Amino acid sequence: MTSAPALVGAPAAPAARPPEAGFAAFVRRARARGELVVQPRMGFGSPALMRAGLRATRDAEATTVGTLTLDSYTRVGDLAAARGAAADGSDLNGYPLVTAAAHDTRWMLGGLAGPDFPVQVRHGSAVPQDIFRALVRAGLDATEGGPVSYCLPYGRVPLSTSLSNWTDSCLILAPLREQGREPHLETFGGCMLGQLCPPSQLVAISVLEALFFTRLGVRSVSASYAQQTSPEQDREAVAALRRLCTELLPRDSVDWHIVIYAYMGVFPGTVGGARALLRSAAELATLTGAERLIVKTVVESRRIPTIAENADALELAARSAENVRGAAKALGARVDDAPTAAPATDADSQVYQEAAALVEAVLNLDADLGRALAHAFRCGYLDIPYCLHPDNAGRARSYLDTAGRLQWAELGSLPLRHLVRARSAAPVTSGELLTALGYVQRTFDSMADDDPAGGSHDATAQGEPR
């Protein structure tokens, strides 16, 4: 049996009981009722449209939290462009929280955001200090991202700079606890590049980012995992994520939960295929005991979804989760805080062993986790397949095996040679990579017999910068 990773450095100090208000408290209450929290990825430049989107999310037949996704200009720190676009009436693909007039933001959130409908800010920035200050001013206290996951995929900001920026940002958010508010941070580490990263590394980075947050004083976190190509492997991954969080984020000091993302790669082109994929994401979340699910819609492959289509996706996910829960209970299966007992969620699965080895190797590099993460990428202990960022070694490669599971083709310097035998075949070709990128789309579209999801963009469409 693989032992728990060695935690280097002082653990988080025990914290007082968290307030019964805020993002995490809402999720805890939903869990106690046996409900999966579902959430869209939605953002608009117009305060009126953003308010309409939040209202539709709140009013959906589901247990929901709101999303305030920011525009691309704000994400990269080009605030002048964000102001200019708003001034000349140009469409923004998200809400410009930093540059929006304070009274517009207050009006947009007024009567909606609160203990019974928390709103999370989503952004995608490696330079998020202004965003954190703006969300605090707006009375919000939940956001997401991470120094690795919001750096490597999205630009050329040096990893060391992103780590410093995210340190500053955590220190902006953490003091809210002294005001009786419980700030919440969700890792994006379980979603690196959206696809074709073996699950063990997604789990490891998600756990490491959660540790990064808690060591900087944020006591409420969620650890993410994005649905990949194999349901069985995904269940192993979520079980591994839960076990590592249990081992490294003690409940007496950290309030944490698991969040699943519906598949983030090439989406099915048919309505039937897209709905089947979303149902499978809800099944993954339910059977693994995940507390929250971030959904996609039936038109992801074709166009930007409307508010109504986002609401439909939320309701489909909620119904699917309830159906899975009911069927599992009818069969006597356990569906609660822990994964179901099955070979796919073996506590000592291959995914767990690899993820634990990666986490342990990084934690042993330096007592300061920021320095450890920077060092891990320099020496290749963390290496994201097919990621072109200059701070990524780019020597590790992945492939899909005949069962549709993501495996390591080349390890580079990953500390996994005692666990993984990289394939002996020729290097991954561009044709093989393209075939792998379309695997989920082909698999789910083959289940459907309907027309491609289509339609034209309209004025109530969702903006999404990533």
Q: Report pLDDT for 3.
A: 45
2 pLDDT higher than 60: no
- In this structure, are strands 397-400 and 406-410 parallel, antiparallel, or unpaired? antiparallel
Reading the block at residue 42, the tokens are 């939605």
Q: Tell me the C-alpha to C-alpha distance, in Å, between residue 466 and each of 75, 88, 158, 389.
A: 10, 24, 19, 16
Tell me what pLDDT residue 336 has: 53
CA angle 422, 426, 432 (to 5 degrees): 95
d(CA 71, CA 91): 10
Is 156 domain-assigned? yes
The H or E element containing residue 30 is helix 23-32
List b or e across 374-403, with b for residues whose CB sees 16 or more CB atoms inside 10 angstroms. bebbeebbbbbbbbebebbbbebbbbbeee
Confidence of residue 339 (pLDDT cuts 50, 70, 90): very low
Residue 96 belongs to a domain = yes
pLDDT digit string, tens, across residues 389-398: 999 999 999 9
Predicted confidence (pLDDT) at residue 23 exceeds the cutoff of 60: yes
- pLDDT band, very low/low/confident/very high, at 32 (cuts 50, 70, 90): very high
The whole domain housing 267 covers 23-344
Residue 427 has pLDDT above 90, yes or no: no
Res 300: pLDDT: 80
Do the strands 397-400 and 292-294 form a parallel or antiparallel pair, or are they unpaired?
Answer: unpaired
In a domain, 378, yes or no: no
Domain count within the chain: 1
Comparing 156 with 415, the larger pLDDT belongs to: 415
Residue 209, Cβ neighbours under 10 Å: how many? 29
| Percent of the chain whose pLDDT exceeds 90 | 72
Does the structure show a pLDDT above 50 at 459? no
* Domain assignment present for 220: yes
pLDDT above 70: residue 12: no
Taking residues 14-37, report their average pLDDT: 82
CATH number assigned to the domain comprising residue 101 = 3.20.20.240
Cα separation, 144 vs 119, whole angstroms = 12
Mean pLDDT check: name the lowest of 76-85, 334-343, 363-372: 334-343
For the entire predicted model, the pTM comes to 0.90
Asked whether the predicted pLDDT for residue 10 surpasses 60, the reply is no
Rounded-to-integer distance, Cα 279 and Cα 319, Å: 9
Strands laid side by side in the 220-226 sheet: 63-64, 37-39, 292-294, 255-261, 220-226, 184-187, 142-145, 119-122, 66-69
List alpha helices for 33-180, DSSP H.
Answer: 47-59, 72-75, 79-87, 102-109, 129-137, 159-173
Domain presence at residue 217: yes
Question: In this predicted model, what pLDDT tens digit does every residue of 217-230 receive, in sequence order?
Answer: 999 999 999 999 99
Q: Is residue 57 part of a domain?
A: yes
Tokens standing for 74? Answer: 């704000």
Q: Answer for the pair 381, 373: CB distance below 8 angstroms, yes or no.
A: no
Q: What is the pLDDT of residue 369?
A: 98
pLDDT score recorded for residue 147: 97
- On the question of pLDDT at 50 being above 60, the answer is yes
User: Does the pLDDT of residue 14 top 80, yes or no?
Assistant: no
User: How far apart are the C-alpha atoms of 73 and 80, rounded to whole Å?
Assistant: 8
Mean pLDDT within 160-187? 96
Per-residue model confidence (pLDDT) at position 445:
85
Report the pLDDT value the prediction gives residue 454, as an integer from 0 to 100.
46
Q: Say which DSSP state 90 is in.
A: -
Q: At what angle are helices 350-363 and 199-215 packed, to 10 degrees? A: 40
Single-letter amino acid, residue 379: C
Q: Is 383 left (phi over 0), alpha (psi -120 to 50) or beta?
A: beta
15 has a pLDDT exceeding 50: no
Provide the token pair at 294: 């971030």
In the structure, what pLDDT confidence band is assigned to residue 331 with cuts at 50, 70 and 90? Answer: confident
Task: Tell me if 463 is assigned to some domain.
Answer: no
| Band (250; pLDDT cuts 50, 70, 90) | confident
Which of 57, 56, 65, 138 lies closest to 95 in space, CA to CA?
A: 138
Confidence of residue 299 (pLDDT cuts 50, 70, 90): confident
Does the residue 128 lie in any domain? Answer: yes
